[in-house]
Amino acid sequence: MERRKFLSLSGLAAVAAVVPASAEDFRKTKPTVWTAHTVDDAVMAMYGTKATTESGVTVTMPDVAANGGAVPVNIKSDIDAKSVALFQNANPEAAVAAFTIHENSIINYDLKIKLKSDGTPITVTAIVEGKDGKLYSGVKTLTVALGGCEG
């Protein structure tokens, strides 16, 4: 790499490192979200309401997960958003994750979550907080296979 190009890229990296991140630390600003035991209570603690419009958000995951220790989840939305949060009704605490959305971000997140299961169906809910102040949700139900060597 040419020396000048290297120095200019190094300078850009230094400037980018100085720019403060605008992400909210939800664990500090909304601590009760992370101790809520139901999805409704966690959504209420996060957003101050549990009223959502069930549209505009897609949650994709398997219908049956062989391994409750690493269930793949995809959250996708085209909504102009401020935040995205993920909740589930299987584990003792309902909140899984929350993200602050940058104005130029694309909401297409892949993550793996751990789900405790006794064989009953589990509901996973993604909530997108739109810049219009409305809450949009997507819901997916799955079952974690019992008795497997990974489950």
Question: In the prediction, which pLDDT does 6 show?
Answer: 47
| Alpha helices per DSSP H over the chain | 3-18, 26-29, 39-47
**Largest Cα–Cα separation, the chain:** 61
Give the pLDDT confidence score for residue 139 in this predicted structure: 98
Q: Which CATH superfamily is domain 22-144 in?
A: SoxY domain (2.60.40.2470)
Residues of the chain under the 50 pLDDT cut: 6-7, 10-20, 148-149, 151
pLDDT at position 12 is: 42
Segment 108-121, tens digit of pLDDT: 999 999 998 888 99
How does the average pLDDT of the chain come out, rounded?
Answer: 85
pLDDT computed for residue 7 by the predictor = 46
Q: What's the pLDDT at 44?
A: 97
What is the per-residue pLDDT for 64? 94
State the pLDDT at residue 22.
60
Domain extent listing, the chain: 22-144
Distance CA 131, CA 16 (A): 25
**134 CB burial (10 A radius; 0-12, 13-18, 19+):** middle
Which tokens is 66 given? 């062989």
CA distance 6 to 24: 33
